[in-house]
Each structure stands twice: as structure tokens, then as C-alpha cells.
Amino acid sequence: MKNQILVIDDEAEIRRLLARALTHHGYRVCEAASGAEARRMAKESVPDLIICDLQMEDTDGLRLIEELKESLPDTPVMLLTGVFFDPETIRETIAKKVAVYMNKTETLDQIMREVDRLCRS
Amino acid sequence: MKDPVEKRIIGLFLLLLVLLISSTVVTVRNIQHARISSDWVNHAHAIISEADAIFSSLSAGEAALRNFLLTGDEGDRAAGREAFAEAIEHLELGKALTRREAKPYEEFGKIEAILARRMDFARAAVNARQQGGIDAAQKVVAADAGEMGEIRARLARLKDQQQTVVRSHDQAHYLQAANTRWAVLAGGVLNALVLLFLVYLIRDDFMMRRRAASALKVVNQKLEATVQERTAELAFANETLVRENLEQLWSNQALDHQLRFHELIINSIDDLVFVISKALNISRINPAVTRRTGFESQDLVARPLHRVLGSDAAEESGVWPGAQRIESCLKSGRDLRDSPGILFCRDGRKTPVTFSVFPLRDGDKIVGGVMTVKVSHLTS
């Protein structure tokens, strides 16, 4: 059975592009454009992996991850962002048990490799 | 053009047909001849039978006559009459049978004449016996010419002739039967040979077709393998293209993201930022320029820098030393920091400022410069 991945990003173009790449790679994908939508979908679909943007308009990515981890403690989370991580953010991601953080400037190939690794584990 | 094997098969079928027809014609002809021979034989036997019957009846008639002459018994006379009548009847039959054959017919004619004489003799003898008794009859008998021998001889000759005919037709019949047998046998053997050859040709043809089918199958398998290989290649190429396309789109969005972010950074700076060319024309400004000077982007972009930045001295003399320092900075690649100048606003206000210029490099090449302008503390 294919792994289910929840993609959370308020930028529609990035979210759809990522969903398309994941589908092509053989995964089932559900998308959320906001924190509220993400909470609802996490309950409904119980994903095997969450890919979440750091900065969204209606919510902070790290806070959202903290909430989702309460209901899905075993689901790994990949944090994706367009800005560079500062040390404070890195500390916070570790504390919130984010499995991996990646920049949107990295290639899709690298991102897919990390996705594969997280889904296998 | 027909297949050569096909031509051969058609040719053989035609040959087979010819042989069959020939065999049939020969056989039928022989059978017809045999029938004719058989008819002749029957005909000859019929004539011989009639000849025998004539002599037999005649002999019976003669015997009855003699008895009557001796005994005077009417019964013998009647028997004799009947026998002679029978002889005549058989003679008539014999003549009818031989009416188309000259010699036998002639022979029967002669026998008829003799028979007529015999019957005259018989009548005379009977009359003599009835009228004069046995003595008169004896006188008549004594005068008998004795023609029975001649009749016998003629009948024997006739029979011989017919026997000869029978023998010759029997021989012909035998030969025809033999011919028929050989014709049928030869036809059968030839047909069998032709059929065998046909079987060989057809088998040969079947083998050729099987080989061709087998070769075709091999070619088809190779073709299928090639097609599968090619399909796999195309699928792989397609997969690669899709991945590359996605990667390209992702890179584009990352780039857009970066550009937006950089723009945000530039736009959030409160200092005035100008991007200038080596010819000291303005390429870009940040929103702080508009806020401070009142000039919009379209008022300044592609315009000379001195439109918005200069000095009071430059206004009077037309020469601005600052411009020379900026040109030198862009030429040498050394930064120019905190140089004094006057900012000209749209509404005519002039503001003292300090500016710095940083050469803009693309690789090793200086393509322009980035100028930051700070408003002096006393007047900000």
C-alpha cells in the first residue's frame, strides 16, 4: 500500500507542485492550505509523513507541528522553508522532534530522497 | 505470377485428367468392341443352331416318310409333314439371320432349293404310296437323287464358316479384354504415380510454408522484443522528462521565491538605494527613494543620476566632483563610502545626504554599482 503524505503550505503553486512530484514518485497525497485545514486532514487521513512549511499566513509552522505531534506522535515531520534556518529555529525544530528540515532551494530529487528515507523508517 | 509449386500441381492435375480420360476412352472402346464381338459370336451360334435344326428336322422328316412308305401309317405322314414344315421354318430363320451376309445367305438359298426338291420327292412318294401301294412308292424311292448328302455337306460348310467367325471374334474378344485390363492397370499405375508425386509436392509445399511461418515467427519475436525495448526506452525517456520538468518547475519557483525575498529585503531598507550603470544612469530604485524624493520609479529609471543627486556647486558650474569619484569607484572596483551630496526632491527641496557606492560585479566584470544614500542626521 502506498504511503500517505500530508503537504501543508499556504502557497498554492508550491503545494501543488510538491503534490504532483510526490504522486509521480508513487505516493498518495493530501493537501492543506492552512493550519485549520491541516488539523482536519490529519485527523481524517492519518498520514505516514507530514511536510509542512515554516511560515504560513494564518499559523506558525512550528506551532502547528507541535499540535499535530500530539495526535500523531509517530508520524515523522519534514519542515520545508524558503528562508534560511537560524540557530534558534534549528533548536526549536529539534525540540519539536521534526525529523528533517529542508530549504525550498534544494532540488526535488534531494527532497524526494529524504521523503523516501522517512517513509521507509 | 503463380507460385511454381502451384503451377506444377495444376500441370499434374491436368496430366492426371488426360490419363484418366485416355484410359476411360480406351476401356470404353474395348468394351464396345467386345460387345460387338459378343454379338457376332451369338449371331454365329444362332446360325449354327438353325443349321443343326434344319438338318435335324429334315432327317426326322425323311425318317417319317420312310416309315409311312413302309407302313402306310397316317401318323407317320403327319409327322413327316410337320418335320418338313419345321425344316422350312428353320431355313427361313437361317435366311433371316444371314440376309446381310452374302455367302451364308446364298448357301441357305441353295439349301432351300434342295429342300424344295426333297419336299416334292416326299409328296410324290406319299402320293405313290397312297395310290399304288408300297410297290409304287418303292419305284419313286428308287428314283431318289439322294440329295440329303448335299444338304448335309452344305450345312456343314455353313457351320464351318460360322465357327471360323466365332473363333476370330473370340480371339478379338480375348485381345480386347487383355487391352482393357492393361489400359486400366496402366491408368491406375500412372494415376498412383502422379498422386504420389502430388503428395510429394504438397508435402514439400507444406514444409516450405512451415519454414516460412517459423521464420516469420522468429522475425515477429525479434520485432516484438525490439518494440518492447523501444517502448521501455521511450517510457524511461518520458519518465526522465517528467522528472526534469518537475525539477525545472521546482527550481523556477525556488528562484522566484528568492527574488521575492531579496526584493522584500531591499524594499524594507529605509536608506535610499539606487542601482546605477557605469554611465551613471539609474537602473532601479527602492521604495525609500520615492518616499523621500517624491519621484516615482518611471521618473528616475533610465535617467541620469544627477537628476536626483548632485551638489550645489554642480548646479552652478555644471561639474560635480562626486560624479568623478563615482566613476572612479566603478572603474577601479574600490568602494566609495560616505561621500557628501545633495538630494533633489520633486517639490524642489534639497536635502544634504551622504552616499556610498559599491561596485556591482558579475563574475570578474563590473557591470554597475549599488548606491546607498543616507539622509544627514541634522536634517532627517
CB contact under 8 A, A104 and B254: yes
Q: Using DSSP bridges, classify how beta strands B365-375 and B272-277 pair: parallel, antiparallel or unpaired.
A: antiparallel
> pLDDT tier at B27 (50, 70, 90 boundaries)?
confident
CB contact under 8 A, A107 and B246: no
The pLDDT of residue B380 is 44
Strand locations in B97-168 (E): none
Size of interface A-B (CB pairs under 8 A): 33
CB contact under 8 A, B246 and A14: no
Q: Which helix (H) or strand (E) holds B15?
A: helix B4-71
Q: What is the pLDDT of residues B143-182, one digit of tens each?
A: 887 788 888 999 999 999 999 988 988 888 888 888 888 8
Nearest-Cα distance to chain B for A107, in Å, is 7
- Compute the average pLDDT of residues A54-80: 87
Q: How high is the mean pLDDT of chain B?
A: 89
The pLDDT of residue B175 is 85
Q: Which residues pair with B72 in a beta bridge?
A: none
Of A82, A105, A107, the CB nearest to B247: A107
Q: What is the DSSP secondary-structure string of B236-286?
A: HHHHHHHHHHHHHHHHHHHHHHHHHHHHHHHHH-SSEEEEEETTSBEEEE-
Radius of gyration of chain B (CA): 75
Angle between helices B4-71 and B74-97 (to 10 degrees): 160
From CA B309, how far away is CA B277, in angstroms rounded?
15
Angle between helices B148-268 and A12-24 (to 10 degrees): 140
CB contact under 8 A, A17 and B249: yes
DSSP B305: G
- Compute the average pLDDT of residues A10-21: 93
CA dihedral B134, B136, B139, B144 (to 10 degrees): -80
Q: What is the pLDDT of residues B73-90, one digit of tens each?
A: 899 999 999 999 999 999
Q: Looking at beta carbons, which residues of chain B come within 8 Å of A24?
A: 242-243, 246
B33/A27: higher pLDDT? A27
Residue A38 contacts residue A32 (beta carbons within 8 Å): yes
The percentage of residues in chain B with a pLDDT greater than 70, rounded to a whole number, is: 97
Of A14, A21, A105, the CB nearest to B246: A21
CB contact under 8 A, A21 and B251: no
Residue B98 contacts residue B104 (beta carbons within 8 Å): yes
Of B242, B247, B253, the CB nearest to A14: B253
pLDDT of B293 above 50: yes
- Compute the average pLDDT of residues B243-265: 90
Of A13, A83, A108, the CB nearest to B246: A108
From CA B326, how far away is CA B26, in angstroms rounded?
130
Please work out, in degrees rounded to the nearest 5, the angle formed at the alpha carbon of residue B248 by the alpha carbons of B247 and B251.
85
